[in-house]
Amino acid sequence: MAYQPAAWDGDDLAATLAGSDAPLLGLAGSSVADRFRSWTGRSGKRYVFSVFRLDDTARFADWLPTDGGAVVIAARRDAASTLTSLLIESIGPCPQAFARSEHIRALLSKGGCEIHVHLLASNATERQAIVDDLRRGAPQAR
């Protein structure tokens, strides 16, 4: 099954969702600090994401569950290492289709370098609620 992304305007979304990047406070200074981030939605809720290099789709795809879904944020960093979101989306029921899609190449061409993955939502309704919360506000990566 080919992955079909939702309609979005990457340039408008990136301008709206610019955030700052920092490790989770509980992991600061640890060897895994750069592998996790939290994003805060308009509601004030914080969501923890695992971080992967966007160009390492094999590792990313192998790490994803074979069924279910995930919330993903594709991001790029500027020269000052500021994180900007290119895409916030719920993927499922087969997340590997996203990881292996041509859409990844498009994100790389827009400067995407990281994919942030949230697996803690238990169903499609919860995943969509998280996506909506993150898209509504100007979420900040922490």
User: What is residue 142's predicted lDDT score, i.e. its pLDDT?
Assistant: 53
Task: Give the global pTM.
Answer: 0.75
Q: Is 118 helix (H, G, I), strand (E, B) or coil?
A: strand
Instruction: Say if CB 95 and CB 1 are below 8 A apart.
Output: no
User: What is residue 95's predicted lDDT score, i.e. its pLDDT?
Assistant: 65
The 10s digit of each residue's pLDDT in 66-96 is: 677 889 888 888 888 888 888 898 887 766 6
